[in-house]
Amino acid sequence: MSNQQSGIAGATRHVLPNGMVALIQRNPSTPTVSVRGELRVGAVGEPTEQSGLAVFTGAALIRGAGERSFQMIVEETEERGCSVSAGGGLHSSGFGGKALVEDLPLVLEILADMLIRPTFPAQEVERLRGQFLMGLRESEQETGTQASRAARALLYPPEHPYSRISSGTLATVQAITREDLARFHARYHPAGGAVAIVGDVEPAAVIAELEARLGSWAPAATPPDSTPPAAPPALEGISRKDIPMPGKVQSDVIWAVHGLRRADPDYYPVMLANMVLGQLGMGGRLGENVRERQGMAYYCYSGLEADIGAGPWSAVAGVSPENVERAIAAILHEVERFVADGPTEQELADARAFLTGSLVLGLETNDGIAGTLLGIERHGLGLDYIDRYPTIINAVSHAQIVAAARRYLSTERYVLAVAGPTAT
Amino acid sequence: MSAPTEAHTLPNGMLVLTREVHSAPVATSWIWYRVGSRNEPSGQTGISHWVEHMLFKGTPSIPKGDFDRLIARNGGTFNGFTWVDYTAYYETLPADRIELGLKIEADRMINTIFEPAEVDSERTVIISELDGYANYPETWLDEAVKASAFTAHPYHHPVIGYKSDLLAMTRDELYAYYQTFYMPNNAVLVLVGDFRTDALLKQVEALFAELPRGPALPQLRAVEPEPQGERRVTIRRPGPAEYLQIAYLAPDCRSPDFAPMAVLDAVLSGAKALSFMGGGTQTNRSARIYKALVESELAASAWSSFTPSRDPFLLELSATVREDKAAAVVEAALIGEITRIQQDGVDAHELAKVLKQVRAQVAYSGESVTNQAMQLGMWEVLDSYRRVDTLLDELSAVSAEDVRRVAQQYLTERRRVVGHFIPTGEEGEL
């Protein structure tokens, strides 16, 4: 039997001369290879009036790079059953690929062109804009997207990057020019970035290949600023927004408060609290109440966005319009109960057992291993993190969870967003 | 690279498929039942899916709520799903805990309670699931296209069922349906992962061999008659865009024409990933439909789909019409791609590309024991698990002429349904 846990600890970590970190893990059990990487430039660095710029730029990289057109890139990769991709996120711009192992050199060659030498052909930019605008028009009519936009706008002041959805709006995406994309791309920098490669590869050979493809990339831009966004002003009281949407049948409800940074000392207690409140089994206590006990919703769960900055800690439910107030009452009831008493002994034991026991499931595929390596690097956790993880989780006490939950959860200061048909 | 699959039949008729994979300390347990929405009588649509929901609601020995906690406690994940041809459940666990999956499935195959209060509570959960889908305009179009494509065959109705049926369903109807279809001789257990087959089979026998075999199962007799002309359906509701969905009645997975149709679908929009759980690569952007519809800026997105089915199902073409374009032009362009293949066929390069894509998708899917078991189980309930290993050869044997022939034979005007979604204004016709 293999032991993937020590596999992560045994991954090769190599820093390229330009500051980019390469993480390579050999997985001889598959004929495939996965590449996943990120640069520390994202939507947090874009001006409010250009919301969507990071996402647009990331998606445009494949539309022409080096000597290749978009059609050449997709033709060459798809005829081998491999893929390359890139996309902008909130704090990073990600890139990746998947291939049979013999096609890794092609994937790395094209990815390097996409990162370093994108050409942003005018016609391709317009095609992409058309697709983005259609996607935005579709998501504008989704109850979940509308509720999420509203909740973010209530949680964060308008100048805060977390107040927006990183895909932008119809108006901002319409106004972004080809030159804007090129200017945003000029901020891409290898320093602080990382690339993880997992599959049946020889680490030394892959590092040599990366040195050749990416090692000499030394952009003029200053390395990205990784200061987390300022903490938003504390919530005062309850704010609520209702968005009526014609033609909808069901409402999406979002309850939210400010969460915390991944680097916060409260992270592990809060993560365990979230697990019990709205994750474990079929949506934790929230799912148990709203779905299992009251039969009100197909989904009800909570989510925690703890990344470089403090994202929302939220609970969501999809319910019929006449059940909106009942669902909100149920969510508040569970929050109040959790803040008062924290998890039961059994719930805490279950959450610990799940988090530690399921580690091996996340490390089964090349994608899973590469994603884990990238997360470890992003948050500076060290390659022994997986081996240390059970100790970390088992050391979190009931008292720490209750104390942390009380610092963040509240039934007096929160935001609510409801999007759907008007109640009948 | 794929390890051999072993088949074992228990005395009560239950088939057990096992495949040892030792690349990660993980194992998966799937159970498949040969029942889906195709087995549902009129007035009881959605009953297969509802029964699936009830299997998470408890048995005397594993009460409601304990089931998901038990799996979480053991570091596992689980789910269940219902499709037109089958219902399946799985637990993926650290390899040394795989017996838990077996215990759960053996127990709930026979002992699920169907507590009346739980039935009523689940009624509103399922209606909420249905309402959530109804928030998307594509759902309304898809339902109308399927309903138009099938007149005699129960592929006519949506898997989740009609709301009127869900409101009227009784506990006794659900329980009778469960007792009819949930029995060892209608089940396939699929185990893939890091275990020793001999030892695991002993556990399987201890848990499943004593379960009583049920009576012979009712067989579906309905046959969709040959369509006699194009059918068109238009949906008008609030929505962000016009959508097109074109469906052709297509051969089932046991037909000799299945492989040429699968190649045809891949020529149109790439060889798809072999799992709905992700893990494959995108292959459509260098294929015919993307070039003709998306690169040409007629559609914001466009694709074809063709899935293996027990009875003749559909090859479908779909597109999201760009705001400044006419749906009629987009429809003509989609159908034009079919006509082009009917007239000129496909070239050798496209066939080679499809094969390489399928090989790659098989390799990606093989990284996960969960995906491997899903393929084995799905093929066994549709035809035979051996198809997982022969599929590449079947596709390799397809000639360009075969592809052209099936396009000419099946993708004709009289065998097609054209569905069109037209967004209405703010007035919101409900």
In this predicted complex, what is the ipTM? Answer: 0.94
Q: Is the Cβ–Cβ distance between B37 and B84 less than 8 Å?
A: yes
Q: Is the Cβ–Cβ distance between A192 and A23 less than 8 Å?
A: no
Confidence (pLDDT) at A130: 95
Confidence (pLDDT) at A225: 84
Q: Please, where are the H alpha helices in B89-227?
A: 98-111, 116-134, 137-149, 163-168, 171-181, 197-208
| Sheet (strand B299-306) strand order | B231-238, B416-424, B243-249, B314-321, B299-306
Confidence (pLDDT) at A5: 43
Confidence (pLDDT) at A7: 82
Please list the pLDDT of chain B residue by residue as tens digits (430 residues).
Answer: 467 999 999 999 999 999 999 999 999 999 999 999 999 999 999 999 999 999 999 999 999 988 999 999 999 999 999 999 999 999 999 999 999 999 999 999 999 999 999 999 999 999 999 999 999 999 999 999 999 999 999 999 999 999 999 999 999 999 999 999 999 999 999 999 999 999 999 999 999 999 999 999 999 999 999 999 999 999 999 999 999 999 999 999 999 999 999 999 999 999 998 876 667 899 999 999 999 999 999 999 999 999 999 999 999 999 999 999 999 999 999 999 999 999 999 999 999 999 999 999 999 999 999 999 999 999 999 999 999 999 999 999 999 999 999 999 999 999 999 999 999 975 444 4
Confidence (pLDDT) at B409: 98
User: Which chain B residues are closer than 8 Å to A297 by Cβ?
Assistant: 125, 128
Subunit contact B238:A247, Cβ cutoff 8 A: yes
User: Which chain B residues are closer than 8 Å to A137 by Cβ?
Assistant: 240-241, 323
Closest residue on chain B to A135 (Cα) = B300
Average pLDDT over residues A337-349: 98
B71, B124, B426: residue with CB nearest A246? B426
Q: Which of B128, B268, B282 to mutate to test the interface with A (most CBs of A within 10 A)?
A: B128
Closest residue on chain B to A134 (Cα) = B300
Subunit contact A281:B68, Cβ cutoff 8 A: yes
Across A232-246, b (16+ Cβ under 10 Å) vs e yields eeebeeebebebebb
CA distance A186 to chain B (A): 27
Q: Is the Cβ–Cβ distance between B306 and B265 less than 8 Å?
A: yes
Q: Is the pLDDT of residue A2 over 70?
A: no
Closest residue on chain A to B130 (Cα) = A298
Average pLDDT over residues A380-385: 97
Confidence (pLDDT) at B191: 98
A98, A247, A282: residue with CB nearest B281? A98
Residues A408 and A65: their CA atoms lie apart, in Å, by 45
Closest residue on chain A to B423 (Cα) = A247
Residues B399 and B383: their CA atoms lie apart, in Å, by 23
Helix (H) / strand (E) element for A384: namely: none
Q: Is the pLDDT of residue A167 over 60?
A: yes
Subunit contact A137:B366, Cβ cutoff 8 A: no
User: Which chain B residues are closer than 8 Å to A83 by Cβ?
Assistant: 281-283
Q: Which of A323, A344, A361, A422 to mutate to test the interface with B (most CBs of B within 10 A)?
A: A361
Confidence (pLDDT) at B155: 98
B240, B286, B364: residue with CB nearest A140? B240
Subunit contact B238:A83, Cβ cutoff 8 A: no
Q: What does B24-41 look like in DSSP terms, one character per residue?
A: SSEEEEEEEES-SGGGPP
Task: Note the pLDDT tens digit of each residue in A231-253.
Answer: 999 999 999 999 999 999 999 99
Q: Is the pLDDT of residue A6 over 90?
A: no
Task: Note the pLDDT tens digit of each residue in A220-231.
Answer: 888 888 888 999
